[in-house]
Amino acid sequence: MNSKRIVISTFGSFGDVHPYIAIALELKTRGHVPVIATSEVYREKMEAVGLEFHPVRPDMPSYDQPDELGELVARAMDQKEGPEVVANMVLPHLREIYADLDVATRGADLFLTHPLPLVGPIIAQKKRLPWVSSVLAPASFLSVYDPIVPPQWPWLYKLMRLSPWVGRGVMALAKLKLDKLMQPVYELRAELGLPRGEQPLFMGQHSPTKVLALFSRLMAQPQPDWPPHTTVTGFAFYDRRDFFGETEMPGG
């Protein structure tokens, strides 16, 4: 079997990073060369398990800055403001992320993306890389047949459950609102000579050839409006206790 260089792009908390460590370690046992491209704060974690690492901006607070990190996590987890906080962690840095991933994917045979860095699809399309996308939770599919329960608008779930047609109307309105938020993505695509493409938080995040749903079918069954080339893999488990200075952080 020929060894392949497989670059994995992710961003966020341990919950956004650990599943890809599990995948990378398995790829390594199969003779491939996995590279995890993510925030500098995770360099020590990757080196500890012998994985190649490539830093990607923006930098996150390190674990020896517990107050700053705790404040960021609290804001990101806020039911009302959280999604916008997370988006604003990425959107002002799109060109930096693109530049870093452009370097990380040199010589790559395959590119695996997490939804959040937002420029993963742009890299794959611009460089014509073989591309597999992934999601960590059923909510990322935004299905009208199995709608999410928005924490800030729980009544919306009941409305969408009335009919897929109602759900499609709600999704259309959501796309209109989110298009304004995603304008920096469209601008970057235009600068790079790419078409506007699909809405980045909807179908635009998914590879046209393979989507990995990294969760159990007990969490959700495939729906008619999921990408047809989706594979539900089950959870990718990795759990290790790490030490950052004198502070012990849970690995899960």
Q: What is the pLDDT of residue 108?
A: 98
Beta carbons within 8 Å of 51's beta carbon, 6+ residues apart: 21, 24, 25, 28, 34, 35, 36
Judge whether residue 167 has pLDDT over 80: no
Per the domain annotation, does 223 fall within a domain? yes
- For the cut 90, the answer to whether the pLDDT of residue 233 exceeds it is yes
pLDDT score of 250: 39
pLDDT higher at 178 or 34:
34
Query: Residue 38 pLDDT > 90, yes or no?
Result: yes
Residue 238 lies in a domain: yes
Domain contains 150: no
Give the integer Cα–Cα distance in Å for 214 and 233: 5
- Tell me the average pLDDT of the chain: 87
| Segment 75-100 mean pLDDT | 79
Q: Is residue 171 part of a domain?
A: no
Answer with the residue of higher pLDDT: 33 or 63: 33
In a domain, 192, yes or no: no
- The answer, yes or no, to whether residue 84 has pLDDT greater than 50, is yes
pLDDT band at residue 161 using 50, 70 and 90 as cut-offs: confident
For residue 243, the enclosing domain spans: 5-144+200-249
CA 245 → CA 21, 66, 208, distances in Å? 22, 12, 43
pTM of the model: 0.87
Of 198 and 151, the structure prediction assigns the larger pLDDT to 198
Q: What is the CATH number of the domain that holds 68?
A: 3.40.50.2000
User: Which residue do the tokens 């506007």 mark?
Assistant: 196
- For residue 244, is pLDDT > 60? no
Structure tokens given for 55: 């830093």
| Cis peptide, bond prior to residue 58, ω within 30 of zero | yes
Average pLDDT over residues 113-136: 96
Q: What does the pLDDT read at residue 80?
A: 62
- Comparing 15-19, 30-34, 58-62, the range with the smallest average pLDDT is 58-62
93 found inside a domain: yes
- 52 domain residue, yes or no: yes
Please give the full DSSP string across the chain, using - where no structure is assigned.
----EEEEE--SSHHHHHHHHHHHHHHHHTT-EEEEEE-GGGHHHHHHTT-EEEE-SSPPPPTT-HHHHHHHHHHHT-TTTHHHHHHHHHGGGHHHHHHHHHHHTTT-SEEEE-STTS-HHHHHHHHT--EEEEESSGGGG--SSS----TT-HHHHHHHTT-HHHHHHHHHHHHHHHHHHTHHHHHHHHHTT----S-TTTGGGS-SS-EEE-S-TTT----TTS-TTEEE---------EEETTEEE---
The arithmetic mean of pLDDT across residues 233-250, rounded, is 65
How many structural domains compose the chain?
A: 1
The pLDDT score that the predictor gives to residue 55 is 97
Bridge partners (DSSP) listed for residue 131: 111
| 185 within some domain | no
For the cut 80, the answer to whether the pLDDT of residue 192 exceeds it is: yes
Residue 234 banded pLDDT, cuts 50, 70, 90: very high
Would you say residue 235 has pLDDT above 50? yes
How far is residue 45's CA from residue 18's CA, in Å, rounded to a whole number? 10
